[in-house]
Amino acid sequence: MNSFNKNSLKKMLDDMNEQSHFYRPTPFWEEGSKVIIDELEKKGVEKFRALNSTRSFFVPTYSYPTYLENEKLFENVKEELDKLVIDPKLNTKLELLLSGKMQAFSDYRTLVATNEDFAPYTNKVSESNIGKPVEQYTFDNRNFSRSFLNYLLGLNFIKKHVDTKDIKNVMEIGGGFGTLGEILLGDERNECFYINADIPPVSFVSSYYLKEVFGSSNVADYNDLLEKEILDINELKQEYKALNICSWQIPKLQGEIDLFVNFISFQEMEPDVVNNYCEYVRKLNPKYILLRNIKEGKKQKDENTVYGVETPILGDDYDTFLPEYKLVSKDSEIFGFKTEDNFHSELRLYTKK
């Protein structure tokens, strides 16, 4: 990274260390943040989507583990398959499976089949290649990563169940590198204002990404808003297309949002931290809340699990965290994801009671 970026990240980290535990890394991210920061400093934010550490934490991929790093490790498997079968197409299928393209295309087919032609519009956006992704697929002249398809399917899910045409102000906590913002802002028909809040170093990366995609003047980040005591949503949306803030700036937000989203990151936190965030979200009075969480809970930290949680958050915990809201639908089969070992990445949609 250049010196300016290093100073910017250092400022975020120094300020974070002065905050309450509610806005600092929980056990899962405490160790993860260290390896991400180390790799960013050595290799640069410009290719963050190609780094091993980021792909382990917030740049998800479809491919088989280690396949992208060294395809040659799988040559013996391909050679043995060739000996066992007559049809050469089976090795092509194996290649599609290992590379992840088969699953990516399956998600894309679901996306097309479930598309609804009203806002938020999702049928034209195409993902940028900022950050030098090592895995990105092109279908019908549009680019998709796993993160991009995850969010697109999530939006199709909510559009199946509620009237989303008037969704304009969208807030997310723990939004990875800013994919949801890219989708919503990528089609001007949506007329959306996007807010993402996260801890550094992820907030540093998402700020870089969104500013690169939409222009620095259109996205206000931590440093741009550092001196403001109040972050008035209605005022700021007149000047910017998006806010990319740090977690401890959330209490400064004033106004209302239409949709709140959290994909996966709440499940990596501890219950008291998530409950604290939910209290501030409820004050912003969203009409809808869309969550993605492992139904069985994140793996607990132990002597064999460095990246784990102390207390897993289960799907029903959100019913407690969001007392003014009711669960209207949940899904892990079509729009979510069911793993081979029967863990369910479940989408949960809440509306005001």
DSSP labels, 233-279: HHHHTTT-SEEEEEGGGGGGEES--SEEEEESGGGGS-HHHHHHHHH
Instruction: Evaluate if residue 343 carries a pLDDT over 90.
Output: no
- The model's pTM is 0.95
pLDDT, position 1: 55
The pLDDT value recorded for residue 3 is 46
Are 148 and 117 in contact by the 8 Å Cβ rule? The answer is no
Domain ranges of the chain: 3-62+100-352
- pLDDT value at position 90? 77
Q: Which CATH superfamily is domain 3-62+100-352 in?
A: Vaccinia Virus protein VP39 (3.40.50.150)
Express each pLDDT in 68-108 by its tens digit.
Answer: 888 888 888 878 777 777 777 777 888 898 999 999 999 99
Mean pLDDT of the chain: 94
Per the model's pLDDT, the better-predicted residue between 339 and 262 turns out to be 262
Q: 240 by DSSP, 3-state: which?
A: coil
Kindly state the tokens that stand for 248.
């401890």
Phi/psi of residue 106, nearest 5 degrees: -60, -45
